[in-house]
Structure 1
Amino acid sequence: MFTGIIETLGKVEKLEKDGGNLHLTIVSDIAPELKIDQSVSHNGVCLTVVSLTGNSYTVTAIEETLNKTNLGELMLGDTVNLERAMVLGARLDGHIVQGHVDQIAVCKSVEEKDGSWVYTFEYDPKLNNVTIEKGSITVDGVSLTVVDSQKDSFNVAIIPYTHEHTRFHTYHVGTIVNLEFDVVGKYVSRLLELRS
Structure 2
Amino acid sequence: MFTGIIEETGKIQTIRKGAESSFISVQAKKIMQDVQLGDSIAVNGVCLTVTAFSQGGFTADVMNETFKRSSLGSLSTGSPVNLERAMPANGRFGGHIVSGHIDGTGTVSAIQKDDNAVWYTIKTTPDILRYIIEKGSVAIDGISLTVAKAERDRFSVSVIPHTASMTILPGRRVGDTVNLENDCIGKYVERLMGIQQAKNNITADFLMKYGF
Which residue of 2 is the match for residue 182 of structure 1? Answer: 183
In structure 2, give the amino acid aligned to 1:24. I
Checking the alignment, whether the CA contact within 8 Å between 1:43 and 1:178 is kept in structure 2 is yes
Query: Could you say what the CA RMSD is over the residues aligned between the two structures, in angstroms?
Result: 1.6
1:129 deviation in Å?
Answer: 4.0
Unaligned runs of 5+ in 1: none
Please list every run of 5 or more consecutive structure 2 residues that lacks an aligned counterpart in the other structure: 199-212
- Indicate the percent of aligned positions where both proteins have the same amino acid: 39
CA distance in structure 2 between the aligned counterparts of 1:35 and 1:191, rounded to whole angstroms: 36
Report the structure number with the largest CA radius of gyration: 2
- For residues 57-136 of structure 1, the aligned pairs below 5 Å read 57-126=58-127, 129-136=130-137
SS in 2 for 1:131: coil
Aligned length: 196
Q: Is the 8 A contact 1:130 1:151 kept in 2?
A: no
Measured in 2, the distance between the counterparts of 1:21 and 1:97 equals 27
TM-score, with length taken from structure 1: 0.94
Q: How high is the TM-score relative to the length of structure 2?
A: 0.87
Q: Is the 8 A contact 1:137 1:145 kept in 2?
A: yes
- Cα gap change, 1:21/1:177 in structure 2, threshold over 3 Å: closer, same or farther? farther
Q: Which residue does the alignment assign to 1:15?
A: 15
Contact 1:70 / 1:177 at 8 angstroms: preserved in 2?
yes
> Residue type matched to 1:180 in 2?
E
Residue equivalent to 1:150: 151
What's the offset of the Cα at 1:20?
4.7
Q: Which amino acid aligns with 1:179?
A: L
Q: How big is the shift at 1:70?
A: 0.4
2: CA distance between counterparts of 1:62 and 1:118?
Answer: 33
Q: Is the 8 A contact 1:117 1:159 kept in 2?
A: yes
Bigger shift: residues 179-188 or 15-24: 15-24
Q: Which amino acid aligns with 1:103?
A: G
d(CA) in 2 for partners of 1:128 and 1:165?
26
Deviation at 1:135, TM superposition (A): 0.4
The whole-number CA distance in structure 1 between the counterparts of 2:41 and 2:185 is: 22
Task: Say which SS state the counterpart of residue 150 (structure 2) adopts.
Answer: coil
Output the CA distance in 2 between the equivalents of 1:55 and 1:186. Answer: 38
Please tell me whether the aligned partners of residues 7 and 82 of structure 1 are also in contact (alpha carbons under 8 angstroms): yes
Measure the CA separation in 2 of the matches of 1:161 and 1:127: 27
